[in-house]
Structure 1
Amino acid sequence: MRMEKKSLTFDEIKQKLVNYCVYQDRCHAEVEQKMREFLLIDEAKEEILLYLMKENYLNEERYTRSYIRGKFYIKHWGRNKIKMYLKQKQISEKMISSCFDEIDEDDYRNTIARIYEDYSSKQKGIQEYQKKSKTIKYLMSRGFEYEIIGEVIND
């Protein structure tokens, strides 16, 4: 049984997009992707985007800051991985750089040290240099910078 897609009014679509943004911070790319579900003319899309920004439902800086905080403090990702994912969401390099102050430098270094210790201690039956190199690779895969990893573990 095929469901007929109910056609929504402009205001209903606008409300759905407001709810989409209220539920969780979104970036422009996510909202534009969501808008593709609704057959809207460009002017209507533009009007909704402007409304969402004017009413502060859609705020790229707030989105970027909360994304950075979440990915670092909850998922323990490094700056490189966070930056890569934000770029995929079409957030500008300038915006990303200006929002990285959400991560406290001491927290960043302490996280590297903690992950290094945890991961390294689980490497059994291999020589020390292999353990070290494997752990550094692991940290880099989590998006931490090689230079900073080196500074932290050689302190």
Structure 2
Amino acid sequence: MRMIPEAIDLVVVHLLEHNFLNETRFAKSYVRGKFRVKKWGRKRLELELKKREISKFNIKEAFKEIPDTDYLNTFHVLAEKKAANIKEPNVYKKRKKLADYLLYRGWESPLVYGKVHELIQ
């Protein structure tokens, strides 16, 4: 904004004092939003927060926003919906497509591979 350094410092201090710049609040809001809207798993969420240089403490605090039951229910619904939409006659290719989709969205490997073998026989 082409401001002098003293003005920048004053603005940043004001924003911090009035809780407009708050890393914890951002992390919690980010995790809640991306989980509910985009159905991202913890791995993807952690990666995206690390890209934004959010501290490990704040990442752990943000993950407390997602109850384990909601996390697992969302995973199961997402996996079943995607498995039903994959039109592939080859069982191995179908498993790979489902696994790749879930892993890309950041779900943990043991969850993904267990669900893939459960859904696609």
Q: With structure 1 as the length reference, what TM-score do the two structures score?
A: 0.67
Deviation (angstroms), 1:151: 4.7
Rounded Cα–Cα distance in structure 2 between residues aligned with 1:85 and 1:40: 30
Structure 1 residues not aligned, in runs of 5+: 1-37
What residue in structure 1 maps to residue 80 of structure 2? 117
Where do residues 1-155 of structure 1 align in structure 2 (5 Å cutoff)? 38-152=1-115
Larger Rg: 1
Higher relative contact order (CA 8 A, sep 6+): 2
Gaps of 5+ in 2: none
- Residue 152 of structure 1 and its aligned partner are, at CA, apart by 4.9
CA distance in 1, matches of 2:8, 2:49: 23
1:102 partner SS: coil
In structure 2, how many angstroms separate the alpha carbons of the residues matched to 1:85 and 1:43? 32
Partners of 2:46 and 2:59 within 8 A in 1: yes
Question: How far did residue 88 of structure 1 move?
Answer: 2.1
CA contact (8 A) 2:28 2:61 kept: no
User: What one-letter code is carried by the residue in structure 1 that aligns with 2:92?
Assistant: Y
User: Offset of 1:86 from its aligned partner?
Assistant: 1.7
**What's the CA shift string for 1:29-56, capped at 9, x where partnerless?**
xxxxxxxxx1123332222111111111
Amino acid at match of 2:102: L
Query: Identity over aligned residues, as a percent?
Result: 35
1:151–1:49 Cα change, 3 Å: farther
Q: What is the aligned-residue RMSD (CA, Å)?
A: 1.9
